[in-house]
Amino acid sequence: ALIVIPLYFIINIVYTLVKLAKKNKPKKVNKNKINILFVCKHNVLRSKIAEAYLRKLDKKINVKSTGLIAGGSPLYDNEKRILKSYGFNPSKKFNCLSKSLIDWADMIIIIANDIPKKIFKRKNPKVKKIIRIWRIKDSFAGASDKQIEKIITKIISRVNNL
């Protein structure tokens, strides 16, 4: 069964999480490593690809991925096949955006094309977050292999240019 959650409700929840984050002191960051958080809508495809690829590229970076809403529809068969051909094997565990993940991240990369940047802004001048928006559209039911490969190659290219 598909559950539809209005976007204003989701934004309100994330806004509340960010507001709560202001009350806590930021955690000290290991100066030798940067913490990067990839965010997409469901943490099923795009953010998991970015996390897995960056993890392979650079062991000096702490990387996590999350979704604004944890878990959407499972991967389609052609998505699974194509991901395997690229050497990816995304886990079936889905993460949902939380205050602790926002606090943890030095850099937040919003991969989705429909998540507003302002929900990650904090007014605490001591806490500087680097926020990037990639605006990569999600896969969909019936997407061709070519469309899925285009999503994957866009993500790989953007990660390579970090």
Q: What pLDDT digit, counting tens, does each position of 144-161 carry?
A: 899 999 999 999 999 999
E-strand stretches of 10-117? 34-40, 61-67, 107-110
Residue 85's φ and ψ, nearest 5 degrees, are -65, -25
Residues 54, 124: Cα–Cα separation, whole Å: 29
Predicted confidence at residue 17, as pLDDT, reads 58
**Taking 50 as the threshold, does the pLDDT of residue 123 lie above it?**
yes
pTM here is 0.74
Taking only the tens place, the pLDDT of each residue in 69-107 is: 866 677 888 888 888 888 888 667 788 888 889 889 999
Nearest to 46 by CA among 144, 162, 145, 159: 159
Q: What is the mean pLDDT of residues 21-46?
A: 71
